[in-house]
Amino acid sequence: MSDFNNLAELVIKGDYAGAQSLTQKMIDNGSDPLEIINQGLMAGMNVVGVRFKAGDMYVPEVMMSAKAMSKGIEMVKPLIAEKDMPTAGKVLIGTVKGDLHDIGKNLVLMMMESAGFEMIDLGVDIDPDTFVKAVKEHKPQAIGMSALLTTTMLSMKDTIEALKEEGLRDSVKIIVGGAPISQGFADEIGADGYAPDAAAATDLCKGLIA
Ligand code: B1M
């Protein structure tokens, strides 16, 4: 097996120490940093995304894989010019106002980062004004909102209304998710899309931004 395949395999297994040491070996041997990312680290994470979607991998395993991938990326990133870093687009993500649940949101973030999105994490308990300010500051192509409580999901609607008031609604795609959210709710509040899980959120964003 090539070093690239071995690296992808270490990411799939969530072996971050192994991924770090093989990444270092590949850097020392002069492998192209972008190829290390694309053919090793991200290739592994793509498999994880597919397996997670199919129910063959679970949240803790995905988190370990994402950690392995991030550790490797941290090592090769300084070797790549900023302009050459692969990016699928810039996405802001946050858990809505009043809601402190962030495990699912972080999983979405990690999965999307693995797919090459530049992710800006606003954190939890994010009110509509903070989303609006962040859109003005970062000019993302998409916003992701997460809610786990039936009492907080309406804040997604308020955020979309706030973006409309500021004339920013059409500048970004909006995706929503979280346990109480459904496609019907997403349609009702005027979001561009709903995703039931992190892998689906990644695919959805790829489609919307492309
Ligand atoms: Co809370 N909690 N919690 N909780 N909690 C739930 C959500 C609840 C269903 C438990 C229950 O009663 N059975 C219930 C909500 C009931 C409701 O509204 N219908 C509940 C409650 C009531 C509360 C409190 C009010 C409890 C209290 O204090 N009385 C309180 C609220 C605090 C607040 O937010 N203001 C509270 C607090 C907490 C903890 C702090 C203890 C902790 C959160 C820790 C943390 O996140 N850092 C917690 C937890 C852990 C849970 C449960 C047990 C697990 C949630 C979780 O992390 N799931 C949850 C019960 C349950 O779901 N079984 C529960 C794993 C995670 C990977 O899944 O977040 O669904 P999930 O994310 C999925 C998808 O939804 C999707 O992708 C992920 C998978 O790939 N997804 C997106 C998520 N965001 C997305 C965004 C997208 C796309 C997809 O696009 C942007």
Question: Over the chain, what is the mean pLDDT?
Answer: 93
pTM: 0.87
**Which residue's CA is minimally distant from atom 16 of ligand 1?**
149
Q: Are 91 and 118 in contact (CB under 8 A)?
A: yes
What is the 111 CA–ligand 1 centroid distance (Å)? 18
Q: What is the mean pLDDT of residues 7-22?
A: 96
Domains of the chain: 3-84 (1.10.1240.10), 89-209 (3.40.50.280)
Ligand 1 proximal residues by C-beta, below 6 Å: 59, 93, 98-105, 107-108, 144-146, 148-151, 175-180, 195, 197-198, 201
Q: Are 45 and 114 in contact (CB under 8 A)?
A: yes
CA distance 196 to 124: 19
- Rounded average pLDDT over 109-127: 91
The per-residue DSSP string of 5-69 comes to HHHHHHHHHT-HHHHHHHHHHHHHTT--HHHIIIIIIHHHHHHHHHHHHTTSS-HHHHHHHHHHH
Q: Tokens 């308020």 map to which residue? A: 158
pLDDT band at 110 (very low <50, low <70, confident <90, very high): confident
- Residue 43: closest CA among 98, 82, 6, 18: 6
For the chain, the distance separating the N- and C-terminal CA atoms, rounded to the nearest angstrom, is 33
Asked if residues 38 and 86 have their Cβ atoms less than 8 Å apart, the reply is yes
pLDDT at 86: 67
